[in-house]
């Protein structure tokens, strides 16, 4: 079970939702190929707030997650997703409890 996570909160501009989902998937498919320590990634959409999405990725270790964030291609691919957003925030998390 994963212990380390990366997460994003995305507020996508109206009319850009499908392009955003496609770019996000391309970004995370690249991640899976180049950083196999990423175990899984999920994007969920808010039912009540149009254009609001949350993403989270599970990582096998903190070092791989840090290397991914430091990669030049990370910034370009993340930037392609951000370009479709009014606002975006991200953070790293560590699991502390599971029920």
Q: Which residue has the tokens 């993403």?
A: 55
pLDDT value of position 3: 87
pTM score of the predicted model: 0.92
What's the domain range around 45? 4-50+60-94
CB neighbours of 20 closer than 8 A, spacing ≥ 6? 10, 12, 53, 81, 84, 85
List the Cα angle 55/63/60 in 5-degree steps: 60
C-alpha dihedral (44, 47, 50, 56), degrees to nearest 10: -20
pLDDT over 70 (residue 33): yes
Q: How far is Cα of residue 70 from the mean position of the Cα atoms in its chain?
A: 14
Question: Angle CA(10)–CA(70)–CA(25) in degrees, nearest 5?
Answer: 40
Stretch 10-22: mean pLDDT: 98
| CATH number for 72 | 3.30.70.100
CB-based contacts of 75-79 (< 8 A; 24+ apart in sequence): 77/23, 77/26, 77/27, 77/30, 78/27
Domains in the chain, number: 1
Q: What is the pLDDT of residues 53-99, one digit of tens each?
A: 999 999 999 999 999 999 999 999 999 999 999 999 999 998 888 89
| 18 within domain boundaries | yes
Residue 11 domain-assigned?
A: yes
């Amino acid at each position: 079970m994963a212990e380390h996570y990366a997460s994003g909160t995305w507020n996508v501009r109206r009319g850009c939702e499908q392009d955003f989902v496609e770019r996000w998937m391309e970004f995370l498919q690249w991640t899976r190929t180049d950083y196999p320590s990423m175990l899984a990634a999920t994007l969920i959409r808010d039912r009540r707030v149009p254009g609001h999405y949350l993403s989270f990725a599970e990582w096998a270790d903190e070092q791989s997650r840090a290397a991914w964030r430091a990669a030049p291609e990370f910034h370009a691919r993340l930037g392609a997703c951000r370009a479709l957003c009014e606002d975006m925030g991200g953070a790293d998390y560590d699991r502390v409890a599971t029920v």
